[in-house]
Amino acid sequence: MNAIAKLSRRGFLSVSAVAGAFTLGIRAPMAQGQNIAAAGAATPEVNAWVVIKPDDTVVIRIARSEMGQGTLTGLAQLVAEELDCDWAKVTTEYPTPGQNLARSRVWGDFSTGGSRGIRESNEYVRKGGAAARMMLVQAAATGWNVPVSECKAAASVVTHQPSGRTMRYGQLAEAAAKLTPPTDIPLRNPAEWHLAGKPVPRLDTIAKTNGSQVYGIDLTMPGMLNASIRDCPVFGGKVKSFDAAAALARPGVRKVVQVGDSALAVVAETWWQANSALDALSIVWDEGPNASLSSETIAAMLTEGLGAAEAFIGNKAGDARAALGRAAKTVEAVYNFPFQNHATMEPMNATAIWKADRCEVWCPTQNGEASLAACAEAAGLRPQQCEVHKVHLGGGFGRRGWQDYVRQAVAIAKEMPGTPVKLVWSREEDMLHGRYHPITACKLTAGLDAEGRLEALHMRISGQSIIAGIAPQMLQGGVDSRVFQGLAQGGAEGAFGYGIPNLLIDHAMRNTHVPPGFWRGVNVNQNAVYLECFIDEVALAAGKDPLEFRRAMLRGAPKHLAVLNAVAEKGGWGTPAPAGRHRGLAAIMGYGSYVAACAEVSVAADGEVTVHRIVAATDPGHAVNPQQIAAQIEGSFAYGLTAALHGEITIKGGRVEQENFDTYPMMRLAEMPAVESIVMPSGGFWGGVGEPTIAVAAPAVLNAVFAATGKRVRSLPLKAADLKT
Amino acid sequence: MAKLNVNGRVVEVQAEDDTPLLWVIREQLGMTGTKYGCGVAQCGACTVHLDGVATRSCALPLSAVTEAQKIVTIEGLSPNNDHPLQKAWVALDVPQCGYCQSGMLMAAAALLAENPKPSEADIRGTVTNICRCGTYNRVLAGIQQAAGTNATSPGARG
């Protein structure tokens, strides 16, 4: 709030860029220099990233959102590594989006998605820590009147080495803060890290074991009212009529608010009262133009796209069509991947206070700056008149990059000026109004030569584009290049690894009325299923072992090969599996990291699949916290296998059919396989860790299921397949 | 006005009879460690102990609970965050987002109270709460550590 008065034109422009940043994926350059004075801070900051209190407490500022992925701890480790502070005295805080706006985006991008939290901010946060350390050392040297070169920092203490004199950071911070920040800031070689790269415990665990961690849904404030909302279950429909009087007659109900033309909210003293009163509204919907659409109509559209003459090309080598025509043997298969809901454990929620000249929002968000832009838009105010306070997220997985719940909360609060209103979605609302993992199908055609080598591969993807659904202005000549995640022709993000002389990967864009979104792993999920299961099919047709078949095609892709070899070795590929168990492999590159898995499954006579063991390898370049990477790998198998085994959102009458966990089942502890993680950073690059391994979960298991049953499951979820013997 | 015995204290609450115990705990008593996840007793985020039994409070109306029944929430699990499960959770860095962990801990605590040395199959069969972050293997290892039965590393499966 104190930052608002200092707003500059540049600040205003940067928030305009922010409004587009989420959807456009464009990152406005962050401000140069980090010595912009904090307006009214009680303790002077050494720089924007580091505040040191007189008692030596180190407050490290974290711009990205913590939603379970461990970024908060990892980013703090990177700052503390260069700061040379006492890790035991480190705490963290989130700067607000409004402060970032007022300070020319000194903290850079707040967006937390695409496994970018650490890999894209590591350099400037490390420089923040290093610059602060240099200033603290300079302050000590100046005070002692000795050369900086004679002073050394360690564990929050600066020592003048010749004399042995010492000063604590807490004693130096005020003087350091007054110095001109350095411009040449050398960073430590990761090989010399002593804190980063270590499996230190998370900073946020204790509050999560005693109920004291506050999530957005837990917020309370004086005079606060609670709201629940119901949006038209048919996408594109509207409110036709409703009985406000009946809802207002219910206990505790204060107001009924129409939000846009498609939703109604009830505001009451308690959330339970508000949610219960929604039924009393007896809403009649105008279901609109999509009411006749269903999973069947969508499937027919995708099938048409598989054979369509025109498609966007994502990767090409040689002449695949000609090579397929002359192949000694061809293999063809069609795969499908359904819609998925994020189903974060904490449903969408936001708390807002609206006044004529000011609006504040408290919310769990993956993109605080996009939340600020959404708040301003819904409030009818300038961003400088608004503020967003980030609250801990009960899961994100991509869902909380989308700001619909923020806009709704502000729209409701606007009808009750000055009163704080907390909007919480019911689970049913959350299931019916997700931003769903896109639906696609893929037809793969392979051509083998007489020696069983893969001479030609055509992958035709047909289906939904996320970018077309959320930011069509970002399409390049109509192409959504993100559809080809993991299949790209080179690049640092997700390069196709196999050397295949004649290759064509193309996309027939077939968009649905179901709103798409980024769902943990995004398009690498289905692309890995399509590619890695089909490669197994082709290996079988060539009469070759799936591992050897892959190895022969990965000679030019040593990092892909290394993770594959690692899981094959630890997974025991080529050696007998325990009785009744069978193995499957998968490998791919995503989010800048190389990942592979070896799954071990058994399939009972009644068709029940048990996933016993997963060996998973990841090469993320640099590993900031190996035990948190292991936790992300373990978790990604729960998320990925939930989708593979159970997950399917279906459409009937234009709306989602699944309304809660009874019809959208989740993997639970009973089904969770052992996960053995191999974290094998090879250095020299920065890859993500939150998402990549999820992509190999499904194909490794599906390949193992084939090994167990001889049945090739090409349509997910697995529960729909008949595997009885 | 209903009376409830929560974490050893008798409290008076004012809510409609059909209000689920979860929302009475969260909104009337202001104890927000117990979470809403589904409202239909599927996910277990709302698990509390009712006379020592793990109970999904989102589907239990206030009218079904009497003052004679002892309710324990996550806030009352231990006085100093020192239940063996809480210590194991910290030692193994079990939580990720943490939202489901109150319910996980309450389900696990009820299991250990009933069965101090549960087998792995007992744990897998009894703790049926949903965690979307996928902390299951560390939950399993945490229960085994608290029970002193852990021969296996996090992630192991028999």
pLDDT above 90 coverage of chain A, percent: 94
Q: Residue A111, SS3?
A: coil
Q: Which of B109, B70, B118, B120 is nearest to B87 (CA)?
A: B109
* Nearest neighbour of A661 by CB, restricted to B42, B96, B137: B42
Contacts 24+ apart (CB under 8 A), B74-78: B74/A210, B74/A211, B74/B33, B74/B34, B74/B48, B74/B102, B74/B105, B74/B106, B75/A210, B75/A211, B75/A212, B75/B7, B75/B31, B75/B33, B76/B6, B76/B7, B76/B8, B77/A210, B77/B105, B77/B106, B77/B109, B78/A210
Same domain, A504 and A595: yes
- Residue B88 near chain A (CB below 8 Å): no
pLDDT in tens, A452-496: 999 999 999 999 999 999 999 999 999 999 999 999 999 999 999
Same domain, A114 and A257: no
What per-residue string of b and e applies to A41-56 under the rule 16 or more CB within 10 Å gives b? eeebbbbbbbbbbeeb
Q: d(Cα A465, Cα A479) in Å, to the nearest integer?
A: 9
B139 close to B103: Cβ distance less than 8 angstroms: no
- The count of domains in chain A is 3
Average pLDDT over residues A419-436: 98
DSSP state of A400: G
Residue contact B98–A394, C-beta within 8 A: yes
A588 close to A497: Cβ distance less than 8 angstroms: yes
A611 close to A654: Cβ distance less than 8 angstroms: no
Name A390's bridge partners: A363
| pLDDT in the model for residue B155 | 46
Residue contact B27–A270, C-beta within 8 A: yes
Same domain, A161 and A306: no
Dihedral Cα B91, B97, B100, B101, nearest 10 deg: 20
Q: Which of A492, A665, A610, A597 is nearest to A115 (CA)?
A: A492
| Residue at A101 is within a domain | yes
Q: Residue A268, SS3?
A: strand
Residue contact B34–A660, C-beta within 8 A: no
| pLDDT in the model for residue A2 | 32
Tally A–B CB contacts below 8 A.
195
E-strand ranges in A11-116 read 45-47, 50-52, 58-61, 90-93
| pLDDT in the model for residue B1 | 83
Q: How far is A384 from chain B (nearest CA, A)?
A: 31
Mean pLDDT by 10 residues, chain B (158 residues): 96 97 98 98 98 98 97 97 97 98 98 98 98 98 94 48
Q: d(Cα A524, Cα A586) in Å, to the nearest integer?
A: 12
Residue contact A345–B130, C-beta within 8 A: yes
Q: d(Cα A50, Cα A550) in Å, to the nearest integer?
A: 48
DSSP state of A334: E
- Residue A694 contacts by C-beta under 8 Å, 6 or more apart in sequence? A520, A521, A524, A525, A636, A637, A639, A640
Domain boundary among A363, A390, A424: A424
| pLDDT in the model for residue A13 | 29
- Residue B145 near chain A (CB below 8 Å): no
Residue A188 has pLDDT above 80, yes or no: yes
Q: Which of A323, A683, A664, A655 is nearest to B43 (CA)?
A: A664
What is the torsional sign of CA A319, A325, A330, A331?
positive
Q: For tokens 């502070």, name the residue.
A: A85
Q: d(Cα A45, Cα A236) in Å, to the nearest integer?
A: 49
Q: How far is B42 from chain A (nearest CA, A)?
A: 6
Residue A121 burial (10 A CB sphere; 0-12, 13-18, 19+): buried
Domains with residue ranges and CATH for chain B: 2-76 (3.10.20.30), 84-147 (1.10.150.120)
Specify the CATH number for the domain of residue A194.
Answer: 3.30.365.10
Same domain, A369 and A502: no
Q: Residue A65, SS3?
A: coil
In angstroms and rounded to an integer, the radius of gyration of the C-alpha atoms of chain A is: 27
Same domain, A585 and A600: yes
Same domain, A369 and A263: yes
A62 close to A128: Cβ distance less than 8 angstroms: no
Domain boundary among A208, A236, A251: A208
Same domain, A367 and A404: yes
Which residues in chain B are contacts of A218 at CB distance < 8 A? 26, 32
For B:1-20, CB contacts with A below 8 A are 15-16, 18-20
Q: For tokens 């698990």, name the residue.
A: B47
| Residue at A15 is within a domain | no
| pLDDT in the model for residue A415 | 98
| Residue at A442 is within a domain | yes
| pLDDT in the model for residue A42 | 57
| pLDDT in the model for residue A44 | 80
A50 close to A62: Cβ distance less than 8 angstroms: no
Residue B9 CA from chain centroid, whole number: 19
Residue contact A639–B36, C-beta within 8 A: no
| Residue at A14 is within a domain | no
Same domain, A204 and A233: no
Same domain, A546 and A608: yes
Which residues in chain A are contacts of B25 at CB distance < 8 A? none
Average pLDDT over residues A145-158: 98
Residue A17 has pLDDT above 50, yes or no: no
Q: d(Cα A235, Cα A237) in Å, to the nearest integer?
A: 6
Q: Which two tokens stand for residue A26?
A: 């464009």
Q: d(Cα A105, Cα A12) in Å, to the nearest integer?
A: 11
Residue A376 has pLDDT above 60, yes or no: yes
Q: Which two tokens stand for residue A236?
A: 């594109």
- Residue A472 contacts by C-beta under 8 Å, 6 or more apart in sequence? none
* Nearest neighbour of A209 by CB, restricted to B32, B90, B124: B90
Residue A465 CA from chain centroid, whole number: 17
- Residue A474 near chain B (CB below 8 Å): no
Interior CA angle at A681 toward A483 and A591, to 5°? Answer: 15
Residue A503 has pLDDT above 50, yes or no: yes
* Nearest neighbour of A427 by CB, restricted to B37, B123, B140: B37
Residue contact A427–B96, C-beta within 8 A: no
Task: Write out A205-228 in H/E/C secondary structure.
Answer: CHHHCCCCCCEHHHCCCCCCEEEE
| Residue at A725 is within a domain | no
Residue contact B81–A210, C-beta within 8 A: yes
Q: Which two tokens stand for residue A93?
A: 């805080």
Residue A399 has pLDDT above 80, yes or no: yes
DSSP state of A433: T
Q: Residue B140, SS3?
A: helix
E-strand ranges in A170-323 read 225-231, 238-241, 253-259, 263-268, 284-286, 312-317
Same domain, A452 and A537: yes
Task: Write out B51-91 in H/E/C secondary structure.
Answer: CCEEEEHHHCEHHHCCCCCEEECHHHCCCCCCCHHHHHHHH
Residue A368 has pLDDT above 80, yes or no: yes
Q: Which two tokens stand for residue A437?
A: 């993992």
Residue A16 has pLDDT above 80, yes or no: no
What per-residue string of b and e applies to A520-541 under the rule 16 or more CB within 10 Å gives b? bbbbbbbbbbbbbbbbbbbbbe
What's the pLDDT band for A4 if we cut at 50, 70, 90? very low
A518 close to A470: Cβ distance less than 8 angstroms: no
| pLDDT in the model for residue A30 | 33
Q: Residue A686, SS3?
A: coil
Average pLDDT over residues A281-294: 98
Q: Which two tokens stand for residue A193?
A: 């890290």
Q: d(Cα A87, Cα A133) in Å, to the nearest integer?
A: 14
Domain boundary among A151, A181, A208: A208
A54 close to A170: Cβ distance less than 8 angstroms: yes
Same domain, A266 and A143: no
Residue contact B137–A636, C-beta within 8 A: no
- Residue A113 near chain B (CB below 8 Å): no
Which residues in chain B are contacts of A345 at CB distance < 8 A? 35, 37, 43, 45, 97, 99-100, 130-133
Q: How far is B79 from chain A (nearest CA, A)?
A: 10
Q: How far is A74 from chain B (nearest CA, A)?
A: 13
Q: State which residue of chain B sits closest to A615, comparing Cα positions.
A: B155
Q: Which of A314, A262, A282 is nearest to A515 (CA)?
A: A262
Give the max Cα distance, chain A.
Answer: 83
| Residue at A430 is within a domain | no
pLDDT mean across residues, chain A: 93
Q: How far is B113 from chain A (nearest CA, A)?
A: 18
Q: d(Cα A546, Cα A587) in Å, to the nearest integer?
A: 11
- Residue B84 near chain A (CB below 8 Å): no
Which residues in chain B are contacts of A215 at CB distance < 8 A? 35, 99
* Nearest neighbour of A272 by CB, restricted to B23, B45, B156: B23
Residue A14 has pLDDT above 50, yes or no: no
What's the pLDDT band for A549 if we cut at 50, 70, 90? very high
Q: Which domain holds residue A141?
A: 31-208
Same domain, A524 and A638: yes
A182 close to A131: Cβ distance less than 8 angstroms: yes
Average pLDDT over residues A31-46: 49
Which residues in chain B are contacts of A272 at CB distance < 8 A? 15-16, 19-20, 23, 27
Residue contact A68–B101, C-beta within 8 A: no
Q: Which of B135, B148, B124 is nearest to B101 (CA)?
A: B135
The single-letter code of the amino acid at A287 is: E
Name A599's bridge partners: A584, A614
Q: Beta strands A502-509 and A582-590: pairing type?
A: unpaired
Helix residue ranges, H only, A610-693: 626-645
- Residue B63 near chain A (CB below 8 Å): no
ipTM of the modeled complex = 0.96
What's the pLDDT band for A40 if we cut at 50, 70, 90? very low
